[in-house]
Amino acid sequence: MAIVVLIVIVAESGGDFTAIQEAIDDITDATTAMRYVILVYPGTYTENVDLTGKPYIDIKGMGTRLDTIITSSSGTTLTVDTTAGNSNIFNFLTIQTTGGML
């Protein structure tokens, strides 16, 4: 079985979305056979990213891990669903919490 990978671009300007969570919320059909990769262009994205109930969505920073930063002004910076069978992959980005960087 072939796996289809669909690309969604998040950038401060010129992308499909300007916020990571907007891109996540727009994806409703990700499956094991159709994964999504959200490519996040360099910058600091201040938002709460919630992948609960959103398996098969990967987030990849464009550039080095220090070029793309996800942080929040309050609450949880990143929430993932660890239910068996769910998978999300994160590459080349920094997730900054109130306690520091992950």
> pTM score, two decimals?
0.88
Residues 32-57 pLDDT 10s: 899 999 999 999 999 999 999 899 99
**Sequence-distant contacts of 46-49: CB under 8 A, at least 24 apart:** 46/71, 46/72, 46/73, 47/19, 47/20, 47/21, 47/72, 48/21, 48/72, 48/75, 48/76, 48/77, 48/79, 49/20, 49/21, 49/24, 49/77, 49/78, 49/79
How high is the pLDDT of residue 72?
87
How high is the pLDDT of residue 98?
66
